[in-house]
């Protein structure tokens, strides 16, 4: 659906943004905005860990289910949980419902976020922007009550700049707010931090919102995974595969 830049063009774009991260005298400080899930983090290993743990919990009663879940690899995790389970041959309604309940109770809380892994090049790119002087905002649809502490720890432990001057983690105040609605509302607020020069997100709708609010900034889609039925990317947004530069 989206055509990512080739490796050379991706590297050129990212290196140009590292260069643009240097503050210019008389101008507001550059700001780079990063989404978390599907953008700087691959959260599929979180889903794998959660489903495998369920398998181990029920292994005695349901060795068949435990075997199927134990064989799951993060490369075989599509966007929707039901698709992941179907790929494993788990389609019985009772199993699917029980697994969905378990997954929901774990996926959206601090305790499981440490399973996420950084996208290739993401830590180095964020560090390079920050070291050159840009402020970094991690703007996520994860919610403040149940996911902010784990998100902070995950950023810290993965090596992203966080907890230092010029960095902020911004979370959704209430999990009930739809992500795109939240980001559309809050993205103009990024101007409080400084001059937004780039934003990165894996949801086309969020990229479009940033492009509308900050047309002179680079609005960049990560071609990882996105919600089914997402809108088309507006002309002017760019697409990359990861952060290798
Ligand atoms: Mg995301």
pLDDT in tens, 10-63: 999 999 999 999 999 999 999 999 999 999 999 999 999 999 999 999 999 999
Q: Which sign, positive or negative, has the C-alpha torsion 142, 224, 74, 65?
A: positive
Token pair belonging to 97 = 């419902």
pLDDT in tens, 119-170: 999 999 999 999 999 999 999 999 999 999 999 999 999 999 999 999 999 9
Domain ranges of the chain: 7-42+117-240, 44-114
pLDDT score of 219: 98
pLDDT in tens, 228-244: 999 999 999 999 999 99
Per CATH, the number for 7-42+117-240 is 3.40.50.1000
Tell me the mean pLDDT in the region 157-185: 96
**Burial environment of residue 125 by CB neighbours within 10 A (0 to 12, 13 to 18, 19 or more):** buried
Determine the distance separating the centroid of ligand 1 and the alpha carbon of 57, expressed in angstroms: 29
Determine the distance separating the centroid of ligand 1 and the alpha carbon of 38, expressed in angstroms: 5
Determine the distance separating the centroid of ligand 1 and the alpha carbon of 26, expressed in angstroms: 34
Determine the distance separating the centroid of ligand 1 and the alpha carbon of 39, expressed in angstroms: 6
| CA gap 211, 188 in Å, rounded | 11
Token pair belonging to 33 = 């905005």
pTM: 0.96
Cβ neighbour number for residue 104 with a 10 Å cutoff: 12
Determine the distance separating the centroid of ligand 1 and the alpha carbon of 165, expressed in angstroms: 24
pLDDT in tens, 61-114: 999 999 999 999 999 899 999 999 999 999 999 999 999 999 999 999 999 999
Determine the distance separating the centroid of ligand 1 and the alpha carbon of 119, expressed in angstroms: 12
Determine the distance separating the centroid of ligand 1 and the alpha carbon of 237, expressed in angstroms: 16
Determine the distance separating the centroid of ligand 1 and the alpha carbon of 69, expressed in angstroms: 25
pLDDT score of 1: 62
C-alpha R_g of the chain: 19
Question: Is the confidence at residue 212, as pLDDT, over 80?
Answer: yes
Determine the distance separating the centroid of ligand 1 and the alpha carbon of 47, expressed in angstroms: 15
Confidence bin at 2 (pLDDT 50/70/90): confident
Determine the distance separating the centroid of ligand 1 and the alpha carbon of 151, expressed in angstroms: 13
pLDDT score of 71: 92
Determine the distance separating the centroid of ligand 1 and the alpha carbon of 59, expressed in angstroms: 33
């Amino acid at each position: 659906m989206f055509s990512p830049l080739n490796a050379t063009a991706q590297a050129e774009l990212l290196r140009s943004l590292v260069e643009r991260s240097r503050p210019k005298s008389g101008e507001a400080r550059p700001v780079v905005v990063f989404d978390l899930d599907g953008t700087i983090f691959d959260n599929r290993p979180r889903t794998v860990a959660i489903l495998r743990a369920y398998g181990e919990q029920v292994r005695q009663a349901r060795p068949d289910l435990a075997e199927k879940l134990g064989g799951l690899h993060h490369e075989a995790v599509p966007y929707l949980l039901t698709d992941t389970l179907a790929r494993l041959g788990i389609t019985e309604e009772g199993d699917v419902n029980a697994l969905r309940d378990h997954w929901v109770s774990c996926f959206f809380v601090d305790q499981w976020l440490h399973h996420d892994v950084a996208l290739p090049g993401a830590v180095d790119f964020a560090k390079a922007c920050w070291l050159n002087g840009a402020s970094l905002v991690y703007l996520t649809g994860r919610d403040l009550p149940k996911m902010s502490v784990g998100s902070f720890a995950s950023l810290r432990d993965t090596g992203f700049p966080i907890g230092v001057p010029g960095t902020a983690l911004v979370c959704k105040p209430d999990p009930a707010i739809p992500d795109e609605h939240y980001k559309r509302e809050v993205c103009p607020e990024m101007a409080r931090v400084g001059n937004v020069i780039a934003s990165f997100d894996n949801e086309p709708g969020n990229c479009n919102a940033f492009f509308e609010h900050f047309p002179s900034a680079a609005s960049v889609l990560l071609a990882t995974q996105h919600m089914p039925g997402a809108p088309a990317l507006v002309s002017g947004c760019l697409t990359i595969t990861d952060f290798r530069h």
